[in-house]
Amino acid sequence: MLKSIAVRVSQGSQFIPDPRQASPPGFRGRPLIAAADCASGCDACVASCPTAAITLNPVAIDLGRCVLCGDCEPVCPNALISFSNDVRMAATDRQALTVSQPRPELDPVKVNQALRQRFGRSLKLRSVSAGGCNGCELEVNALSNVNFDIGRYGIDIVASPRHADGLVLTGPITRNMAQALQLCWDAMPEPKLVIAVGACAISGSPFEGSSAIDRAFLSRFAPTLYVPGCPPHPLTFVRGVLDLLGISS
Amino acid sequence: MGPAKSVVMALTQDVQPLGLDAWASACAQAMAEGERLLTLFGRIDEDDSVVTTAVTLGNDNGESRLNVLRGRGRRGDAFASLTTAYPAAQMFERELWEQTGLQPTGHPWLKPVRFEGARQQHMADYPFFSVRGQEVHEVGVGPIHASVIEPGHFRFMCHGEQVHHLEIQLGYQHRGVEALLLQRPPMRLGSMVESIVGDSSNAYAWGYCAAVEALAGMQVSFASDIVRGVALELERVAMHLGTLTGMATDIAFLQGGATYGRLRTAIINATMRLCGSRFGRGWLRPGGVRFGLTPALRQDLLSTLTAFSKDIALVNDLMRNARSVQSRLQGVGTVSLKAAQDLGLVGLAARACGVRFDTRASLPGRLYTAHPVSVLHEDSGDCWARLTLRMREIDESVRWVREVLQAPETDLALASILSVGKLWPDTLCVSVREGFRGPVVQALETASDGSLLHYKVQDPSLVNWFGEALAVRNNEISDFPICNKSFDLSYCGNDL
């Protein structure tokens, strides 16, 4: 009993009081693109990018493909690209995931009133990994730990698809997992939504183009929320969902 | 000759491949002499011929060394299976058969490893063993499981509550990694390699970097070596903590679950302050490391570890001495030393059975020669052994990191990326890194123009899954979750 109390005392208070105010030190998050010109004929950043997330004229980074590795940062002769520790990268529209020189910030996720009414007080999620490398899976797991504690907002990860309102999809969707994913989705009662977590789920990057990938599922069921990163920081997920459902923090 | 290195190179023009039978005999001979079969694989060459490679770990006057054996055959050719005499070869031969079409004759269970290539999407056709008799039944679980976890199928053959055998069918995570690695420039594979097994990013990235650096004939600075070592040990600590969290939760020891969970947060957040990512992504690159450790970061990490050590000692003490924990874990999921040796189990799963094998010690290179790690082991081979060994390995990793951070002679802030240069042509390079599960083996072979001809990846999970299947025999089916968690093997590492 005394040992248990000692552990409890050492534990202290670990939860993040307000995820909307949290700003993780050192996190390589939302890229910043300076407004200056590129060096003439230079495409070093494009060549350095492992997932073809960067396009030029103007310089733009697709966060649906970006793995936030930072390999582009040191190669730019004019130091146009850097990274902030901003976790706010979620979006409700695939096209809106791109940051560029003319549009350096993402639009904030707007409250969806219909979803708010249905799920604003209780959102149960079933996670399916379809080729995830266990990075996203660990971060989705972390949502329920004592630090992020999404249960306090009525958001829970549940075991059965029968109990779920939403599918948290991780991984690029392997052909070998495509059928099981569909079965799980079919087992979930309406109304239901898909949350795509991580660069693999959003675009297939870095596994895009593999003959072992089959992304047809996403052409049938477009995600309601995209959560970029590789893996996404749990706060990117928490903020995205809280904003989408209009949950106060 | 310096200390045994964790990479081995062979000029493929100089190594005349043996005929398939002679090659298999040479592999058998090496194992008969007590060498450990580290990996065995093949690649399809021109004209439907198949080049086979086996890498063994031998002993030369007390010094470990890696040996390479090459063979050549044609698709569809048969050779006498090694598995009948050396079960450690069983998974490698299954993979060789699935990937190249070579036929290991006499293999007792030649079944698909991951349903790749033409077998994709035929998951329902897996040839399970079946069990017959009165009151016996089978239970199928997965691929999707009740928590946030990668997919895989488990088929239990039971008599009442007792498991007679567990058959594990994987492949759901197959992304075609090995093929993709050949489609990108060899120096820019860092990100993809970090995603092969995303909880072992640093082990994989280091092994990849070491291989391309050796192929280019360059050596990184010692400071970079140390920073890579720190990255790897932080990953080991974080992932062992993740397993401890899961094990505590699975036996409803909730205070342990909550505490190990937040301790893991402290470690991965420290990793993020060093390199920008909680998983070390983007940290290790060919030529060195992208982020050195400034004196401020060094101090930051040291104080994090000081606070961490104090707190983990408390919760370890609580958990180890709780009778309910002992009762749930001791004698459950046991693998004998003999079975572990026969099956060639590696890493923590093997060390928990008494196998004293850690490639950081047997292939230390200059880093672990300057700063050795202790090879820890337990003897009971059960869930309890895997639990306590994880606790002890965390302590040893923390001790090691503190030692290298406090060593005054190297300025870790200077660790950076050096230029790497072109890869040697016609060369095979095999690198080994001891990740938190065990040795991660990566074999890169270059063509005559220096481009990559083959990139073979082998996670320790490939061989260890069978150890888990043995562990649950004669246990209650309800103990499966805790057995599974205590091994904590990788699905995507098996499926690639």
Global ipTM = 0.95
| Chain A: closest CA distance from residue B356 (Å) | 28
> Does A113-245 carry CATH code 3.40.50.12280?
yes
CATH fold of B1-116, please?
Answer: Beta Polymerase; domain 2 (3.30.460)
Q: Is the confidence at residue B62, as pLDDT, over 80?
A: no
Q: Which residues touch B306 (CB under 8 Å, ≥6 apart)?
A: none
What mean pLDDT do residues B5-11 have? 84
CA dist B90 and B466 (Å) reads 10
Helices A234-245 & A135-142 angle (0-180, nearest 10):
60
Number of A–B residue contacts, CB under 8 Å: 208
What mean pLDDT do residues A215-239 have? 96
Q: Percentage of chain B with pLDDT > 70?
A: 99
Q: Is the confidence at residue B166, as pLDDT, over 80?
A: yes
Closest CB to B261: pick one of A24, A132, A146: A146
Helices B254-275 & A2-11 angle (0-180, nearest 10):
30
DSSP character at residue B476: B
Sheet holding A98-100, edge to edge: A54-55, A60-62, A98-100
Taking a C-beta distance cutoff of 8 angstroms, is the pair A131, A197 a contact?
A: no
Selection from B3, B39, B10 nearest residue B441 by Cα: B39
Selection from A112, A114, A133, A52 nearest residue A246 by Cα: A112
For residue A55, what are its two tokens? 């396009």
Find residue A126's DSSP bridge partners: A167
The pLDDT confidence band at residue B487, using thresholds 50, 70 and 90, is very high
Domain boundaries in chain B?
A: 1-116, 201-457
Q: What are phi and psi of A20, to 5 degrees?
A: -70, -25
**Amino acid A23: pLDDT:** 93
Residue of A nearest to B310 (CA): A10
A4, A5, A7, A83: which to substitute to probe chain B, counting the most B Cβ within 10 Å?
A7
The pLDDT confidence band at residue B163, using thresholds 50, 70 and 90, is very high
| Chain B: closest CA distance from residue A27 (Å) | 5
Average model confidence (pLDDT) for chain B? 94
SS (H, E, C) A155-194: EEECCCHHHCCEEEEECCCEHHHHHHHHHHHHHCCCCCEE
Which positions in chain B touch A70 (Cβ < 8 Å)? 276, 282, 290
Inspect the interface and report whether the beta carbons of B172 and A177 lie closer than 8 Å: yes
Q: Is the confidence at residue B492, as pLDDT, over 90?
A: yes
For residue A134, what are its two tokens? 């266990």
Average model confidence (pLDDT) for chain A? 95
For residue B475, what are its two tokens? 């246990």
The neighbour count for residue A189, using CB atoms within 10 Å, is 10
Sign of CA dihedral B367, B240, A16, A196: positive
**Amino acid B16: pLDDT:** 85
**Amino acid B265: pLDDT:** 97
**Amino acid B13: pLDDT:** 82
Inspect the interface and report whether the beta carbons of A210 and B179 lie closer than 8 Å: yes
Which positions in chain A touch B144 (Cβ < 8 Å)? 128, 180, 184
Q: Is the confidence at residue A57, as pLDDT, over 60?
A: yes
What mean pLDDT do residues B68-80 have? 94
CATH fold of B201-457, please?
Answer: Cytochrome-c3 Hydrogenase; chain B (1.10.645)
Domain boundaries in chain A?
A: 113-245
Amino acid (1-letter code) at residue B390: R
Among the residue ranges A177-186, B7-16, B45-54, the one predicted with the least confidence is B7-16
CA dist B202 and B198 (Å) reads 9
The pLDDT confidence band at residue A97, using thresholds 50, 70 and 90, is very high
Selection from B198, B64, B199, B221 nearest residue B209 by Cα: B221
Q: Is the confidence at residue B117, as pLDDT, over 80?
A: yes
Find residue B455's DSSP bridge partners: B444
CA dist A70 and A90 (Å) reads 19
pLDDT tens string B402-415: 999 998 778 888 88
**Amino acid B491: pLDDT:** 97
The pLDDT confidence band at residue B14, using thresholds 50, 70 and 90, is confident
Element (H, E) at B285: strand B284-285
**Amino acid B134: pLDDT:** 86
pLDDT tens string A99-125: 999 998 899 999 999 999 999 999 999
Cα distances (Å, whole numbers) of residue A59 to A45, A53, A68, A81: 9, 11, 16, 9
The pLDDT confidence band at residue B65, using thresholds 50, 70 and 90, is confident
Among the residue ranges B238-242, B371-375, B405-409, B481-485, the one predicted with the least confidence is B405-409
The pLDDT confidence band at residue B2, using thresholds 50, 70 and 90, is low
**Amino acid B284: pLDDT:** 97
Q: Is the confidence at residue B147, as pLDDT, over 90?
A: no
Selection from B442, B437, B237 nearest residue B345 by Cα: B437
The pLDDT confidence band at residue B327, using thresholds 50, 70 and 90, is very high
Which positions in chain B touch A206 (Cβ < 8 Å)? 180, 191-192, 195
Inspect the interface and report whether the beta carbons of B492 and A132 lie closer than 8 Å: yes
Say how far residue B369 (Cα) sits from the centre of its chain. Answer: 22
Q: Is the confidence at residue B378, as pLDDT, over 90?
A: yes
Selection from B200, B296, B214, B207 nearest residue B243 by Cα: B200
Between positions 149 and 188 of A, the ones with CB within 8 A of B are 157, 159-160, 168, 171-172, 174-180, 184
Q: Is the confidence at residue B1, as pLDDT, over 80?
A: no
Closest CB to B279: pick one of A135, A159, A206: A135
- The separation between the first and the last C-alpha atoms of chain A, rounded to the nearest angstrom, is 35
What mean pLDDT do residues B199-204 have? 98
Find residue B49's DSSP bridge partners: B74
**Amino acid B81: pLDDT:** 96
Q: Is the confidence at residue B488, as pLDDT, over 80?
A: yes
The residue behind tokens 């999404």 is A150
